Amino acid sequence: MHIRSIVAGVGAAVCIAATLPRPAAAQQRWRVTTREHVDLWLHGFAMLTSDTGKVTFFARGYKQQMTALKKERGAFTNLDANQQQLSQRFATSPALANAQFVAMYFASMQDLSNAMDLFIRANGEPRRANDPVQQQQIALLAANFPSPADRNWARLFMQSLQDESTRFYHAYWTAEQQTRGAGFAQVNQLWMNQFYPKLERFLNNTQQERGELLLSLPLGGEGRTINGGKQANTVAVNFPRTADAASEAMFTFVHEIVAQLVDEAVRDNTSPAEQRSGVTAGYTGNGAVRGGALVLEKTMPDFVAPYMRYYLAQAGQAAPTGDPRAAFESTFPLPPAIVTALGKAIDGVLGGI
């Protein structure tokens, strides 16, 4: 299942959570940052799920690399001890994958932990809390963990993550921030000096005026996005290991911010039968990749070929030495009507005031 189909499945949760208090940084202009609790949460999902999409949910080989590193360091945690039990739940409740986005609605792991404790004690009933913010938090978690079995899973997952953090992940995350410091600095420079000035009109005209660009260790070319209106958007992207790879984070960001237009183009150019059959999920996934290239063609054409090569690599394809366009379009096919509609939508956004 492509991540776009997962996002579509949690529309109710997104609407509920959009009103939750957000970190103060979300009230400023778009800025580049990191959040350990978001990485820890995504790390847990990466370690528990299989990852077979064309553009994988997480960085290619992430689970294998982390498993090997933990073994090398002699780290065995409750996440490892409970792995089979936690992983099995995805087979019986595939919608549980929606909860990958939950941590992005909270300012810290402590805030998320407090909300989870409240949620468990309230048996998922928002009316059992008197405070409006707490009610919203419970409603968000209930949308992602609706059944008693799901609540039990969430409780065990949170406990396992806390032990994972203590025994392994916090030290790993802290060290990686230093190791990737040059990558962070270069992403920030690219963002402020090149990408944001060129993308500002697109962001403003798609109701994504302000937000946070999170560099996240577990992610690859498939980012994670929370659309909270003009003031409170969050886009999590891959954290480059080196300064030379900094543009890859920008490519993932562009791929993410076009998603709303892709959804509309797919919906307007497919039949109800196609939508019911699930074929549109593939169109939506490929559309996000193709849509990012279209945005760059209109705003930063020098980056189009590198973008295409990056996503070919994310799909496990070797990029040709020459023009990658044919290979790119073959790897991420779309019906011509959707491509045309998406191009017109992007032109309309960029042509707006």
Average pLDDT, integer, range 143-152? 96
- Residues 161, 277: one domain? no
Query: Is residue 220 a contact partner of residue 56, using CB atoms and an 8 Å limit?
Result: yes
* Rounded percentage of the chain residues whose pLDDT exceeds 90: 80
- Residues 137, 197: one domain? no
- Residues 150, 77: one domain? yes
- Residues 261, 298: one domain? yes
- Residues 199, 175: one domain? no
CA distance 49 to 79: 12
Tracing tokens 């938090």 back to the chain, one arrives at 137
- Residues 264, 151: one domain? no
Per-residue pLDDT at 26 exceeds 70: no
- The residue out of 117, 151, 179 marking a domain boundary is 179
Q: What pLDDT does residue 10 have?
A: 32
Q: Note the pLDDT tens digit of each residue in 228-282.
A: 765 679 999 999 999 999 999 999 999 999 999 999 999 999 888 888 888 888 8
Per-residue pLDDT at 22 exceeds 80: no
Q: Note the pLDDT tens digit of each residue in 315-336.
A: 999 888 899 999 999 999 999 9
Q: Higher-confidence residue: 5 or 309?
A: 309
- Residues 133, 165: one domain? yes
Q: Which amino acid is at 91?
A: A
> In this structure, how many other beta carbons lie within 10 angstroms of the beta carbon of residue 60?
16
- Residues 196, 270: one domain? yes
Average pLDDT, integer, range 271-299? 90
- Residues 244, 135: one domain? no
Q: Which two tokens stand for residue 260?
A: 């709303």
CA distance 222 to 219: 7
CA distance 153 to 51: 20
- Residues 174, 209: one domain? no
The residues, ordered by sequence, that sit 6+ positions from 285 with a Cβ below 8 Å of its Cβ are 2, 3, 4, 5, 53, 54, 55
Q: What pLDDT does residue 231 have?
A: 62
Average pLDDT, integer, range 17-40? 69
Residue among 215, 286, 242 at smallest CA distance from 3? 286
Q: Which amino acid is at 98?
A: N
Average pLDDT, integer, range 95-116? 95
Q: What is the mean pLDDT of the chain?
A: 89
Structural domain harbouring 81: 3-27+35-179
Count of all residues that appear for the chain in the document: 353
- The residue out of 179, 197, 227 marking a domain boundary is 179
Phi, psi of 233, deg, nearest 5: -90, 150
- Residues 278, 231: one domain? yes
Query: Is residue 252 a contact partner of residue 240, using CB atoms and an 8 Å limit?
Result: no
pTM (2 d.p.): 0.90
CA distance 135 to 169: 31
Residue among 100, 2, 91 at smallest CA distance from 51? 2
Query: Is residue 38 a contact partner of residue 216, using CB atoms and an 8 Å limit?
Result: yes
Q: What pLDDT does residue 273 have?
A: 86
Q: In what side-by-side order are the strands of the sheet with 233-238? A: 31-33, 211-216, 233-238, 224-226
Query: Is residue 173 a contact partner of residue 43, using CB atoms and an 8 Å limit?
Result: no
- Residues 164, 231: one domain? no
Q: What pLDDT does residue 320 have?
A: 86
Domain count, the chain: 2
- The residue out of 149, 179, 209 marking a domain boundary is 179
